[in-house]
Structure 1
Amino acid sequence: MISWEDIYKVVAAMVPLYVALGLGYGSVRWWRIITPEQCEAINRLVSCITLPLFTFEFTLHTDPFAMNYRVIAADAIARLIIILLLAAWPKCSRKGSYCWSITSFSLSTLTNSLVVGVPLANAMYGHWAQDLVVQLSVVQAIVWLTLLLFVFELRKAGCGLFDAGAGQVASIESPPAKDVDGAGAASGVVDHEAAAVINVRPSFWRLMKVVWLKLALNPNSYASIVGITWAFVANRWHFEMPSIMEGSILIMSKAGTGMAMFSMGLFMALQEKILACGPELTAFGMVLKFIAGPAAMAISSIAMGLRGDILHLAIIQAALPQSITSFIFAREYGLHADVLSTAVIFGMLVSLPILVAYFVVLGFFR
């Protein structure tokens, strides 16, 4: 059974995050140290420098040869189930949209494994559980956050090329305005049949070219891949990274999570309300995070033959609070950042009692 000391360890891991968030909030709202224009630059710093180095640092220290691939497969199946449901949502319901499908994927699958999951898993089940949560976090960084980044770039490139194509056709197809008598626009009477805009969708290959170019220039897309490649090589031939390289990475990577929370505090300060998305969307996010995600993980884990404590841990780690990185990406690409910030802030506040409740209830099913 989890003890008060174990709960304190989890709380001690979470409180510094709120300190960083409060400093960011106060820097804009109370002390006026940072202007709204500077907030975007800080988020860019986090997105392109500190978070990639943070991801690279924890990925390169994993041991790929010691991973539990059955649990990883169950985790992948659970996320694929959610992806299929969210892809069908816009086609089956008028309320659905692909933009909301992207956000819903983040809410239901991307977790704060390292900050909250590691101490909680160790407190509940021991060191083996902590290692498993780290493994799932590495896979999340390599596969699922990269997939999220790809979808964001695809959406951004598609909108940009679509607008550019429509503008070009409009300029070609629209003849000069002329009056009713055909004497030109001098009389001021305009022939409106001459504002016609034809929508032109960009070709698939042109779209892919733009997306892959953007991903190639984004350090988030290959930080985890380079890290896991180093991990394979280092563990295969048993050598360590030189201390001068390790120190160069650590000096900025240690600021990754703290700066991400600081950036979220800046974002909160620019909103009218702390819970920026309102109570309905907050409840929607909590249902996806603490019910839909664990339910999909339970189905896939049982299908993969997981039983006992390892099944319980798989379900609990799927109910961990929202990934901070998902908010940084949402803000960077301008898609429902208010919903993701609320999910991170409110989710971390309510996650501890919910996760303990999961632990107690699952303990009855051995």
Structure 2
Amino acid sequence: MIGWEDVYKVVVAMVPLYVALMLGYGSVKWWRIFTLEQCDAINRLVCYFTLPLFTVEFTAHVDPFKWNYRCIAADALSKLIIAIVLALWAKCSSKGSYCWSITSFSLCTLTSSLVVGVPLAKAMYGQMAVDLVVQFSVIQAIVWLPVLLLVLEIRRAGTTDAGAVHVDKDLEGTINAEASSRPDFWHLMKLVWLKVAMNPNAYACIFGIAWAFVSNRWHFEMPSIMEGSILIMSRAGTGTAMFSMGIFMASQEKLIACGTSLTIFGMVLKFIAGPAAMAIGAIAMGLHGDVLRVAIIQAALPQSITSFIFAKEYGLHADVLSTAVIFGMIVSLPLMIAYFAILEFAH
């Protein structure tokens, strides 16, 4: 059962993030330290250096031979359900949007597991839950964030290749632009894969998990010179991401950058739709007991900070993602306790 000491541990984990956020906010809003061009450079530093090395660091130290692969399958099934629903919405609804489908997928599925999830999971269900939360976090880093990166590159390449492109209704190439032609599919994909191959976020996760398999199979540790080279930047990953978010907030006219209705929309996707899809996937894969409860609760964790960094870099609804991260972390503790109580009562 969660006690005040457990609540304090979660608060201790979260407060430093808001310190970094406020420093970023103040550096632009109050102290005028950075120009707009410098703010963009800071976000690119986070996107291409600190976050990839952070990914390498925590994926390289897991043991994939001890993973619960039924949980991984449940996670994949839940995300497939969400992707199908969003694809049908984008194709069949008059209000459907490819761009909003990308953002909605991020809101439903991508979580900040390591910051909030680990201390909460340990308080609720012990070390077993911690192991599962870390496992879900690694799978997110090596599978789902690269998938997000890929679709963002497809969107960017389509826009760049065709000039003024309206991509809200399809990857098939319906283009509404003056004096522009339909881009060749294979040329488009060539551009996309080239961009992805040049992005360190794509192969950081591959390197990290490859090292995890090799080191756990043959039982040797990473050379200290190599680990030190990774740690020197990776330790700044989460802090610089929150700092960049504070900078972004300061550049907006309103504190709630996306407005009240979109904030509520994001919270519903994050804390209701995501856990509901996970519950369906977990039950379908035969999960039960505390493992089922942990799977559902971790799906309701606050929004991934990395998803905001990608949204800012690719110019896609960064206001919505930043609001989801900030307010998600504020309301996450009481919501997680509510989920815990409901699931225990259902048991």
How does the TM-score come out when normalised to structure 1? Answer: 0.90
Given the alignment of the two structures, is residue 44 of structure 1 paired with residue 25 of structure 2, yes or no? no
Within a 5 Å distance, the mapping from 1:1-366 to structure 2 comes to 1-163=1-163, 197-366=178-347
Structure 2 spans left out of the alignment, 5+ residues: 166-176
Q: What SS does the corresponding residue of 1:232 show, helix, strand or coil? A: helix
Q: How far does the alpha carbon of each residue in 1:279-327 deviate from its partner, in whole angstroms, 9 at most, with x for none?
A: 0000000000000000000011111111111111100000000000000
Q: Which amino acid aligns with 2:247?
A: L
Pairwise CA distance, 1:92: 2.1
Q: How far does the alpha carbon of each residue in 1:21-79 deviate from its partner, in whole angstroms, 9 at most, with x for none?
A: 00000001111122222100000000000000000100000101000000110000000
Q: What SS does the corresponding residue of 1:364 show, helix, strand or coil? A: helix
Hey, what's the Cα distance between the residues in 1 that align with 2:216 and 2:90? 44
Hey, what's the Cα distance between the residues in 2 that align with 1:67 and 1:37? 43
Pairwise CA distance, 1:91: 1.9
Q: How far does the alpha carbon of each residue in 1:92-112 deviate from its partner, in whole angstroms, 9 at most, with x for none?
A: 211220000000000000000
How does the TM-score come out when normalised to structure 2? Answer: 0.95
Q: Which amino acid aligns with 2:308?
A: F
Hey, what's the Cα distance between the residues in 2 that align with 1:64 and 1:91? 38
Hey, what's the Cα distance between the residues in 2 that align with 1:19 and 1:274? 16
Which is further off, 286-295 or 91-100? 91-100
Pairwise CA distance, 1:258: 0.2
Aligned residue for 2:172? none
Pairwise CA distance, 1:204: 1.4
Structure 1 spans left out of the alignment, 5+ residues: 166-195
Q: Which amino acid aligns with 2:58?
A: F
Q: What SS does the corresponding residue of 1:73 show, helix, strand or coil? A: helix
Pairwise CA distance, 1:199: 3.9
Moved over 2 A (4+): 196-199
Pairwise CA distance, 1:237: 0.3
Q: Which amino acid aligns with 2:325?
A: V
Aligned residue for 1:193? none
Hey, what's the Cα distance between the residues in 2 that align with 1:42 and 1:322? 21
Q: How far does the alpha carbon of each residue in 1:330-362 deviate from its partner, in whole angstroms, 9 at most, with x for none?
A: 000000000000000011101110110000110
Hey, what's the Cα distance between the residues in 1 that align with 2:151 and 2:232? 31
Q: Which amino acid aligns with 2:101?
A: S
Aligned residue for 1:173? none
Q: What SS does the corresponding residue of 2:163 show, helix, strand or coil? A: helix
Q: Which amino acid aligns with 1:265?
A: G
Pairwise CA distance, 1:201: 1.5
Hey, what's the Cα distance between the residues in 2 that align with 1:226 and 1:292? 32
Pairwise CA distance, 1:274: 1.1
Q: What SS does the corresponding residue of 2:7 show, helix, strand or coil? A: helix
| Identical pairs, percent | 75
Hey, what's the Cα distance between the residues in 2 that align with 1:197 and 1:6? 59
Evaluate the alpha carbon distance shift between residue 272 and residue 307 of structure 1 in structure 2; reply closer, same or farther with a 3 A threshold: same
Hey, what's the Cα distance between the residues in 1 that align with 2:150 and 2:44? 18
Hey, what's the Cα distance between the residues in 2 that align with 1:164 and 1:316? 42
Q: Which amino acid aligns with 2:147?
A: L
Q: What SS does the corresponding residue of 2:345 show, helix, strand or coil? A: coil
Q: How far does the alpha carbon of each residue in 1:105-149 deviate from its partner, in whole angstroms, 9 at most, with x for none?
A: 000000000111111101110011101100110000011000000
* Structure with larger Rg: 1
Q: How far does the alpha carbon of each residue in 1:240-295 deviate from its partner, in whole angstroms, 9 at most, with x for none?
A: 00111111110100000000000000000000111100000000000000000000
Hey, what's the Cα distance between the residues in 2 that align with 1:70 and 1:164? 44
Aligned positions, number? 337
Hey, what's the Cα distance between the residues in 2 that align with 1:36 and 1:54? 26
Evaluate the alpha carbon distance shift between residue 161 and residue 60 of structure 1 in structure 2; reply closer, same or farther with a 3 A threshold: same
Evaluate the alpha carbon distance shift between residue 358 and residue 164 of structure 1 in structure 2; reply closer, same or farther with a 3 A threshold: closer
